[in-house]
Amino acid sequence: MVSVRIAEKKVWVDNVSIPLLSGDVHYWRLDPANWHPVLQRAREMGLRVIATYVCWDFHEIEPGRYDFCGETDPRHRPVVCPSFALRPGSGGVCPASLQ
């Protein structure tokens, strides 16, 4: 079993320390072709945690109708890059189809 603890201003997963640093990526402001390169640059800067949020105005294609699957525009599907783990946070919801 994996051991996770917080000590010395870091998260420790087993015996590997991970600095408590994160960044934000607003996927809905980017062309989907740039999602992977932007996440890769963030990783190269040492970030291992990236936060994003759902921009309801962007996803509401008409009053009361939302697109989270990219049916009307591929940018409406939240970031899904196979080489990056997608984990919904405690403040958000991620439908099973997007996990």
pLDDT per residue as tens digits for the range 37-59: 998 898 898 887 788 777 777 77
Q: Is position 6 within any domain?
A: no
Picking from 11-15, 56-60, 80-84, which range would have the lowest pLDDT averaged per residue?
80-84
Q: Is position 56 within any domain?
A: yes
pTM here is 0.57
Which residue type is seen at 47?
L
Q: Is position 51 within any domain?
A: yes
Q: What are phi and psi of 65, to 5 degrees?
A: -120, 125
- 55: containing domain: 21-98
Domain count, the chain: 1
CA distance 94 to 31: 21
Q: Is the pLDDT of residue 93 over 50?
A: no
Q: Is position 72 within any domain?
A: yes
Q: Is position 7 within any domain?
A: no
Q: Is position 40 within any domain?
A: yes
